[in-house]
Structure 1
Amino acid sequence: MSERKLEIVHPEIERYMGSLAESAQPVCDTVLEMEELARERDFPIVGRLAGRFLFQQALLLGAKRIFEMGSGFGYSAYWFARAAGGDVICTDTSPENAELAGGFMKKAGFEKKVRFFTGDAIDILTNTGGEFDIVFCDIDKEAYPSAFAAARGKIRKGGLFLADNAFWDGKAALPDGSPAAQGIIKFNKTAVSDPDFLTVQVPLRDGISVSLKLV
């Protein structure tokens, strides 16, 4: 049996939105370099459309403190750092990614805004003091429920929990039994039913879950 897949956004609409993003404000060479590296390594990044969305959300909140759970080599961190008035704390399990991210942030002029820690994102968040305006989640999908549980008490009232891959290539709607799909399904149900948050899933690329903390 062939694998069932769903188109989250029609390819023509995706191309149209991408062309609008590319014709908007120009991006620095660092963004182009990160995008090229992602293509060369087939490394997953949020992409420019989602990056601009994250940038917008951080601007709307006037975010001063942002925590990233799973930062790769810093692509999403770049968009947050453009908007943030203070710290962006990045995490990843790969020392190589941390080194690459540090170089990219320096090239972009954000080395004083961004701090990078290597290790388990949930553990690092749990052991980091204070509240955050935004917690962004892009770690292993089976860990999303645990990530949300760890982040709930770390987000200020009016802050956001943002999670990439909320549809997981359509497997949230057409489950394949994998741990990753089950993690996404459980997270989506938990976030939507949490009375302390107002959650919607934005159908941008592979879906971005946006949870606004109400209390």
Structure 2
Amino acid sequence: MDFLPEAINQYVENNSEKEPQLLNELNHETWEKVLNPRMLSGHFQGRVLSMFSHMIQPENILEIGTYTGYSALCLAEGLQKRGSIHTIDINEELTSLVKKYIAKANLSAVIHCYTGNALDIIPSLNQKFDIVFIDADKTNYSNYYNLVFDKVRQGGYIIADNVLWSGKVITPEENRDDDTKALVEYSKMVMKDKRVQPLLLPIRDGLMIARKL
């Protein structure tokens, strides 16, 4: 969901870093071949994730919700030389597409893909993460946050996508579906957590950023 007029969105893209060619190819292939292509981060949000990664210069990143790998490739742009990304998705049908573009980017040794339930996989990861990017099933956002929190280094970031949920988060409570309710509760939980500095950015469908104190 984009909240700005299309002309403004286009102006923003025109005045931001150009979408890298490989990501442009993945963008187009996702829209041509994959179900629900609007789940893709896309040009502008991808450049935002790349900028965050360059600013933080992470050693380890955890992504919950790979989809077609676009956001993982964006986040990889700011990794330290020996850095790594661990990305989890439950949909094995997308694995070959994801790995194809990871290989095209020469990042097969850097981006590690896991297929399965993130709630089962996360406890098996022993790394300390500088960035955790949550972009998976909305009803488990709070569970993911609680599972990863101790795995995030002090000063690290937990970033959750879609927290505005096409504006549904401000609809009357009785009209909210389960995903909307879960996202509202997630934002409330982060806001109440004294262990983090929270910031909700109205970028695309909303990014909730929590910096671990």
Query: TM-score, normalized by length of structure 2?
Result: 0.91
1:113 paired with 2:106, answer no
**What's the offset of the Cα at 1:12?**
2.8
Percent of aligned pairs with the same residue?
27
The one of 150, 167, 170 aligned to 2:167: 170
1:48-87 mapped onto 2 (5 Å cutoff): 48-85=43-80, 86-87=83-84
Alpha carbons 1:8, 1:207 under 8 Å: kept? no
Alpha carbons 1:89, 1:114 under 8 Å: kept? yes
CA RMSD, 1 decimal: 1.6
**What's the offset of the Cα at 1:96?**
2.0
Q: Distance in 1 between matches of 2:170 and 2:4?
A: 14
Alpha carbons 1:7, 1:170 under 8 Å: kept? no
1:14 paired with 2:13, answer no
Number of positions where the alignment pairs a residue of Structure 1 with one of Structure 2? 206
Aligned equivalent of 1:200 = 199
Q: Distance in 1 between matches of 2:145 and 2:25?
A: 31
**Residue type at the aligned position of 1:156:** R
Aligned equivalent of 1:3 = none
Question: Where in structure 1 are there 5+ consecutive unaligned residues?
Answer: 1-5
| Deviations 1:156-202, CA, capped at 9 Å, x for gaps | 01100001101000011125321100110000000111000111111
**What's the offset of the Cα at 1:207?**
0.7
Aligned equivalent of 1:31 = 23
**What's the offset of the Cα at 1:25?**
4.4
- Taking a change above 3 Å as real, the CA distance of residues 105 and 68 of structure 1, as seen in their structure-2 partners, is same
| Deviations 1:130-167, CA, capped at 9 Å, x for gaps | 21000000011111111111121111011000011010
Query: TM-score, normalized by length of structure 1?
Result: 0.90
- Taking a change above 3 Å as real, the CA distance of residues 35 and 7 of structure 1, as seen in their structure-2 partners, is closer
**What's the offset of the Cα at 1:203?**
0.7
| Deviations 1:114-134, CA, capped at 9 Å, x for gaps | 010001123211221121000
Aligned equivalent of 2:120 = 123
Q: Secondary structure at the match of 2:131?
A: strand
1:134 paired with 2:101, answer no
**What's the offset of the Cα at 1:26?**
5.4
Q: Secondary structure at the match of 2:153?
A: strand
